[in-house]
Every structure is written in structure tokens, then in C-alpha cells.
Amino acid sequence: MSPVVRSFFGALSAAVLLVSSAACSGDGKEPAEAKPPAGAPISKLVGAMSRVVSSDSTRRYAAFSDLERLRRLAGGQPLDRDARLSSLTIGLGDLGVYGARIAEPTGIDVNRADYGMQVGIPPLTAGWLAGPYTAANIKKKLEKLGHKRVPPGDPNKPILGGENTWVAQADGRIDTNDPLAKLGIPPTHPLNAVKVHEGTGITYARRFDTLDSIIFGGATRNTSLGTDPAVRPVLNCLGLPLAALVTKMTGSTDQIGVGVTGDADDLTEVLCVKVSGDANAAAQQLKQSLTGQSATGRPWSELLPGAQVTATSDGVVRLAAKPGAAAKPGLLFQAVLRNDLPRWTA
């Protein structure tokens, strides 16, 4: 898990997680690319989140990156070499930092993934890389690293075990002699347990039992985030993002989503909140907050110039704005991690 995400979990463990702070609102027309698609079709984000079991842990943290689109915007170069777009690989967690180092020893090349996501609060974190991965090459490499094949397990949990599942430390404990650690990869890396879904993707986790946080093949034994009535309106509101983060603060009933939409030279920052109260009142409060400044000391009018705030019919408050000239894409991700979003409650 990346230092940024660790900071987020540190904030989550605080006694109170209030959504702080302030900003600016404009009277112009909302950026066209920021509008949710008409009729809220099944987007790649919704499809991805429909693979995730809805639980308290996943509702509090679910990150997504459309890696195929991001690579195209980066001109095909590895995203960790793109200073601007690398901030949008939140769906990879730390794999976005050391992905190049794991490709050869594990056979897991993040640059082959269509999209990536990481969900859940540690130690219940699991990840998914969607892509044309095959077990044959990965099997040899993981077993060379010391991973052991897991035999089939509980028939009611078919994701756990089987010929394409490997685990290094069954209990997820940290091994300072981990071969990957010798390559400069933190021994806390999430590739302790790996399951290859032939030609479809890879599930991975630190703890073997949390592989079951991901649903496959349209399974209906649990509600997914994509069908959760508190989460789906937020996903629809986010539209077709390059990257997105769905979260819920401790002690709050409001479900939050932040994302970045658009193209490399025309990005839009989006905030969506499914509020428990009056969405119109929350939208007015959010507009008022935008007249202040963030915890960085910079006015929201400078960070999110011309920000537009609306309330939707399904109880979601939505903010959309072009990032300021000096702002790096994903500034609302950083605001979540700093507990520094503009307020929509008094």
C-alpha cells in the first residue's frame, strides 16, 4: 500500500473524521465531460465495482484506475514515468510504484492490465487486475519465489483455492526474507496470495482469506458495490472516470466518491456524495464552503476555479471543476487523504 493510502488509513483511525473545508463556486456552465452519462449506463467503473463484495471495509475504501485509457493518454509509456498522470494510478496502490520491479520475478505485469482496483481497509485489502493474464507463466515464477499452490477449499467459496491459486505465507504474516523484499519491494506487499482467472485477470491480497472480497462471474451470493443502493448512485454520478475513489468516513452515513474524468489536457475533478439528508440543502452548504480555502492555505477558487455544484434526484450532491493551472490531477484524492474536502454539512 502506498504512503498516500497509508496516510488515508491513518486519518480513518482518528477518533473523528470530519470532512473539512472550503472553496469557490462559479456561475458558468458545467464542463460537458464532467456530466454523468445519460441514463447512467454500465460504465467500466460500475462493472469493476460490481465485482466487489459490499462490506463495511469495501464501502470505506475502493479505488479504481482505468489503466488502458491512462496509458493511451501517456502516449504508451509506463505510467510511473508520467509525472502528471502517475497520480491517477490509485487503483494499483503500491503496485503503481514498483510494478516494473515485480513484472519479471512474478510474471505479473501491471502494464498489461485494462484496469486495476484495490478495495478494503487493511488487513482486509484485496486487489484486482483485469487483463489477459495466464496461469502457466505466473505459476512457474511464483513457485520459484516460494509460493505454494492452494488446494481446492470450501465449495461455497470457489475463489479460495484451486489450481490457479498460490500463497506464500498462509496467515499473511510479514516475512523479512521474502525474495521480493530483496528487490527493494516492501515485505508488506499485497502479492502474498494470488489467484489467476485465466485470460480475465488476477486477484491478489496480503491475506489469503480476503481474496473472497472480489466477486466473479456475476455471483449473487453477496451484494456488490455496483448494486449497493448507497454506492451505485455515487458511481453513476462519477460517470466515466480515469480514476476514482469511493469512501465512507467513520461515524458518517454519507457515501463519498471522488474522481477525475476527461482527457490529458482537459481534465475535470468530480466529487459525489450520497447524503442522508436534504441534498439541495447540502449542495447550498457545499457552495458556501467553496468560498473559503483548503487546509493547504490556498483558496478553493484557485484550486477548483469555476466549480459547479448540483443536487441530483437520487440524493447525490455533485461538484465538478477544472483543476487550477498549478494543481496536479487528482487533487480531490489528496483532499480525501488529508481529510480536507469542502464541507456539505454545517
SS (H, E, C) 189-248: CCCCEEEEECCCEEEEECCHHHHHHECCCCCCCCCECCCCCCCHHHHHHHCCCCEEEEEE
* Residue ranges of the chain with per-residue pLDDT less than 50: 1-41, 217-220
Q: Order across the sheet with 165-167: list the strands.
A: 148-149, 165-167, 193-197, 201-205, 126-130, 115-119, 61-65, 243-248, 255-263, 266-274, 316-321, 308-311
pTM metric for this prediction: 0.85
pLDDT value of residue 161: 58
pLDDT value of residue 153: 64
14-50 pLDDT tens trace:
322 222 222 333 333 333 323 333 444 479 999 999 9
pLDDT value of residue 264: 76
Q: Which residues pair with residue 256 across a beta bridge?
A: 247, 273
